[in-house]
């Protein structure tokens, strides 16, 4: 085995190419992954977790890479990150107003995607198309551009009455989703929720919530073979994982022994090697 890198893991980096180009940050290195398709990889957990924010050693990772004190105090770990309709900045109770101003009070995109089927989602405008790739979407279509994360959460709740807002990771990893006509789906969704959308525009102003006339973005992933029954791998339970890399999709490494969600193990110190 040839060692490729050693140190703290971070989420996979991805570039929208055909197929998507992936790299795995390990310590100070970013290891290109596409070139290792079909090769045997070894990922060894070294028994150390260091908080991605303060660097403190931790026996357990909270919120994908934070120690417990940081998880308790940082705004980026607050419940409104998962439920932006409850934005603490909008309520005047944000733990870190400066952070909230930079990351939440900025333009967001409300989009439709096809990952394990049709879903609605939100992301910062600067995170397009990264967010779509992280979710394993094979198609994505920007629907609205809104002024803040809070407003994007309210729009997602509105559309969520008709469309799912979560990805079924097992279905996503079994193969590419059947193609959808996202433009037609978007037109139907906007028509169905016209009144609710107009209410949001009256509340926040027409310039704050704008519909977009965008094209569907297709996304192809570097996968040699999809698993029929994806089995999740866990570095806490199996500190040494070794298998042939059959593909990469979303934040998952698809190995012949199971699938590993790399993002779930942010801040875990590992040694990465390939045959």
Domain ranges (residues) in the chain: 2-47+222-274, 106-218
252/97 Cα distance (integer angstroms): 33
User: Where are the extended beta strands (E) located within 51-132?
Assistant: 57-58, 108-114, 118-124
6/100 Cα distance (integer angstroms): 33
Mean pLDDT over 155-166 rounds to 95
Bridge partners (DSSP) of residue 105 are none
What pLDDT, on the 0 to 100 scale, is given for residue 29? 94
Q: Does residue 65 contact residue 48 with C-beta atoms inside 8 Å?
A: no
- DSSP letter (8 states) at residue 127: G
Percent of the chain scoring above 70 in pLDDT = 100
Q: Show the CA angle centred on residue 10, arms to residues 4 and 244, nearest 5°.
A: 45
- 139, containing H or E segment: strand 139-146
62/68 Cα distance (integer angstroms): 6
What pLDDT, on the 0 to 100 scale, is given for residue 123? 98
Would you call the peptide bond into 81 cis, given omega within 30 degrees of 0 as the criterion?
A: no
Task: Enter the pTM of the model.
Answer: 0.95
Residue pLDDT, tens place only, 57-105: 998 999 999 999 999 999 999 999 999 999 999 899 999 999 999 999 9
What pLDDT, on the 0 to 100 scale, is given for residue 253? 98
Q: Over the range 112-121, which residues count as b (16 or more CB within 10 Å of their CB) and which as e?
A: bbbbbebbbb
Q: Does residue 92 contact residue 139 with C-beta atoms inside 8 Å?
A: no
Residue pLDDT, tens place only, 206-232: 899 999 999 999 999 999 999 999 999
Q: Does residue 64 contact residue 58 with C-beta atoms inside 8 Å?
A: no
Closest CA to 81 of 4, 149, 172, 181: 149
The whole-chain average pLDDT of the chain stands at: 96
Residue pLDDT, tens place only, 98-141: 999 999 999 999 999 999 999 999 999 999 999 999 999 999 99
Bridge partners (DSSP) of residue 30 are 25
Q: Residue 156 — pLDDT band, cuts 50, 70, 90?
A: very high
Q: What is the DSSP string of 32-47?
A: E-GGGTTSEEEEEEEE
- 140, containing H or E segment: strand 139-146
Residue pLDDT, tens place only, 165-174: 999 999 999 9
Q: Over the range 203-241, which residues count as b (16 or more CB within 10 Å of their CB) and which as e?
A: ebeeeebeeeebebbebebbbeebbeebeebebeeeeeb
């Amino acid at each position: 085995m040839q060692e490729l890198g050693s140190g703290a893991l971070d989420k996979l980096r991805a570039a929208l190419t055909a197929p998507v180009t992936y790299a795995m940050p390990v310590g100070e290195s970013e290891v290109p992954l596409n070139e290792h398709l079909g090769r045997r990889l070894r990922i060894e957990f070294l028994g150390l977790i260091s908080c991605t924010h303060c660097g403190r050693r931790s026996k357990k990772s909270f919120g994908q890479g934070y120690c417990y004190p940081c998880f308790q105090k940082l705004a980026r770990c607050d419940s409104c990150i998962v439920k932006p309709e409850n934005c603490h900045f909008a309520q005047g109770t944000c733990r870190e107003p400066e952070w909230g101003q930079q990351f939440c009070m900025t333009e967001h995109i409300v989009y439709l995607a096809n990952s394990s089927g049709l879903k609605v989602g939100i992301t910062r405008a600067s995170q397009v198309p990264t967010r779509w790739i992280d979710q394993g979407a094979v198609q994505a279509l920007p629907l609205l551009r809104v002024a803040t994360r809070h407003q994007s959460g309210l729009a997602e709740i509105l559309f969520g009455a008709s469309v799912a807002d979560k990805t079924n990771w097992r279905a996503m990893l079994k193969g590419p989703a059947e193609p959808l006509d996202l433009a037609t789906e978007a037109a139907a969704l906007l028509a169905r929720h016209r009144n609710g959308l107009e209410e949001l525009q009256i509340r926040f102003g027409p310039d704050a919530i704008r519909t977009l006339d965008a094209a569907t973005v297709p996304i192809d992933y570097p996968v040699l073979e999809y698993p029929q029954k994806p089995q999740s791998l866990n570095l806490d339970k199996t500190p040494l994982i070794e298998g042939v890399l059959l593909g990469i999709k979303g934040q998952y490494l698809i190995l012949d022994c199971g699938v590993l969600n790399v993002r779930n193990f942010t801040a875990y110190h590992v040694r990465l090697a390939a045959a």
